[in-house]
Chains A and B, each alone.
Chain A
Amino acid sequence: MKRALDLLAPLLFVAVLLGAWELAVRALKVPPYLLPAPSQILAALAANAPVLAASAWNTLKMALGALVFASAAATLVALLIAPSPLVEKAVRPVAVVLQVTPIVAIAPQVNIWAGLDHPERAVMGLAAVVAFFPIFSGALTGLNAIDPDLERLFDLYGASRWRKLLSLRLPSAAPFLLEGHKVAAGLAVIGAVVAEFVSGSGGAQGLAWRILEAANRLQTAKVFAAILILGLMGALVHAAFQALQAWALTRWRGR
């Protein structure tokens, strides 16, 4: 009973909000280009379902592609620099600068590198930059978060640096890597959308482009429909990675 209530409460709250929204828009006769009613958004969603779904799929593909790329690059770089504190000190500031630079600032240049006829490459590259840091930071923290006594044990039996990296540091880092990937997955979706906006071309054909296109035509209901899909997609990606993390951690710990 209590569980059912826990599940029902947020749904009920959203229903009340939507009801109030619908009533207010109708009562105050708000023009639909300014604020469409939920019913109008649903109608726009139904009318544009195929094109919105295709665009969402494009954005998701670019975000996941960026995540794969960022994951490989961040883990590799962290693995290479973790054994040496000096190299880590040398590399970290560069990574931080990369992180704090807004992607909108580097987008025009990345567009040129990617080639103006390949906007999807630019989007993927920019989203990868955003997704890189949480994985890199998690990997580096994890690779260095080893039990000092366990490391002494490896030393006692003459383990090489590489053996320690593969058999001690990397498995110790697994929980940190999982957390990093979860955060990065959410950021990759946001990064892909922002990058689509600033890459400023219809070539990528993602959700952001649909939003821009609809907004320019004052099709506000369609804008809201696209935002709704975007939100659902982000929540889905987050939930998927949350589940993956929980599953993998259970396997790692054995319970």
Chain B
Amino acid sequence: MAGALDQVEVAYGARKALGPFSLTLEPGEIVALVGPSGCGKSTALRLLAGLEQPTRGTVERLTGRGEASVVFQSPTLMPWATVAANVGLPLLLTGADPKTRDAAVATQLERVGLAAHDKAKPAQLSGGMAMRVSLARALVTHPRLLLLDEPFAALDEITRRDLAADIHRLWDEERPTIVFVTHNVEEAVYMASRVIVMTRGPGRLSSETLVDAPLPRPEGFRTTALYRGLVEAVSASLARAMAA
């Protein structure tokens, strides 16, 4: 198991943001969390990362440093540091020696196709490139759980599709568990093995849909009847969740 939320609730003062909500993550699966704004999707993600504590309920999570990684909606890079230094940050913080760090950084930059940009600063990168740096940074510790908080939100359609394909390819190499939050039903169905729709905040489980097609999926999957049927079903479920 890569993590679990058991009947968790999160409240900020009097305002309840999430729950009760439960989720069990199986090794190597890709889970999409879909729901209306403010339903607590990102809060659920932060619980799994250990960045937040639940008000009620229990969280089971990977506690080793670097076992769980987070990619935020914006690339969240250090503007003063080079691409290589940004990718190496987790290893710097967990105390890896510089030689191991340099080698690991080079490997990850190779994986995301940015080896030639190791000395660039974030301001010199495009949005999609910065997001791939952020992804490389999350992967540098070889996490067993990868948490993506709306990674596609700020990207245009083409960059978004490229990044989705990249994430599948990277997933295939090490098979970590991935949980990602999104507003985009098409992206959720294309990417995930399981799509979870949450109700309006405080978010609870509204529906769960298995996407029964092998991963990673070719671009052509977007034209299959299975894909279109599931997109319709999840969209309808999301519409019900919004109305409820």
Question: B12 contacts the other chain (Cβ, under 8 Å)?
Answer: no
Q: Are B93 and A163 in contact (CB under 8 A)?
A: yes
The CA of A212 and the CA of B80, in the complex, are separated in Å by 48
How many whole Å from B153's CB to the nearest CB in chain A? 13
What chain B residues lie within 8 Å of A159 (beta carbons)?
93
Interface residues of A, CB < 8 Å — how many? 21
> B124 and A150: CB pair below 8 A?
no
Interface of B is mostly: loop
Q: Which of B50, B69, B80 has its CB near the most chain A CB atoms (within 10 A)?
A: B80
Contact B123 A155 (CB under 8 A): no
Q: Which residues of A contact B72 (CB under 8 A)?
A: 149, 152-153
Where chain A touches its partner, the secondary structure class is helix
Given contacts A157-B66, A158-B93, A253-B123, contact A171 B51 (CB under 8 A): no
B3 at the interface (CB under 8 A from A): no
Q: Does B74 sit within 8 A of A, measured CB to CB? A: yes
Interface check B239, CB cutoff 8 A: no
- Select from chain A the residue with minimum beta-carbon distance to B46: A152
Give chain A residues whose Cβ lies under 8 Å from the Cβ of B123. 253-255
The CB with the most chain A CB atoms within 10 A, among B76, B92, B120, B141, is that of B76
Q: Is A113 part of the binding interface, using a Cβ–Cβ cutoff of 8 Å?
A: no
Selected contact of A174 from candidates B80, B82, B120, B141, CB within 8 Å: B80
Question: Given A156-B50, A254-B123, are A149 and B93 also a contact pair (CB < 8 Å)?
Answer: no
Chain B residues with CB below 8 A from A201, complex form? none
Instruction: Give chain A residues whose Cβ lies under 8 Å from the Cβ of B90.
Output: 157
Asked if B81 lies at the interface with its beta carbon under 8 angstroms from chain A, I say yes
Cβ 8 A contact of B70, one of A153, A158, A172: A153
A57 at the interface (CB under 8 A from B): no
CA distance A242 to B122 in the complex (A): 24
Give the interface centre of A156, A158, A172 by most chain B CB atoms within 10 Å: A156
The answer on a CB contact under 8 Å between A254 and B93 is no
Q: Closest residue of chain A to B122, judged by CB?
A: A254
Query: Are A255 and B94 touching (Cβ within 8 A)?
Result: no
For B168, list chain A residues within 8 Å (CB): none
A149 to B72 CA separation, bound complex (whole angstroms): 7
Contact B80 A149 (CB under 8 A): no
Q: Which residues of B contact A69 (CB under 8 A)?
A: none
A21 is an interface residue with CB less than 8 A from chain B: no
Contact residues in B for A171 (Cβ distance below 8 Å): 78, 80-81
B167 interface residue (CB < 8 Å to A): no
User: In the complex the two chains form, what is the Cα distance from A252 to B68 in whole Å?
Assistant: 30
Indicate whether A167 reaches chain B with its CB closer than 8 angstroms.
yes
A255–B123 Cα distance when bound, in Å, is 7
Inter-chain contact B76/A153, CB cutoff 8 Å: yes
A96 to B114, CA, bound (A): 48
Nearest-CB residue, chain B, relative to A150? B76
Interface residues of B (CB under 8 A from A): 46, 49-51, 65-66, 68-70, 72, 74, 76, 78-82, 89-90, 92-94, 120-124, 141
- Which A-B residue pairs are the 10 nearest by beta carbons? A254-B121, A157-B93, A149-B76, A149-B72, A171-B80, A159-B93, A253-B123, A252-B80, A157-B90, A152-B51
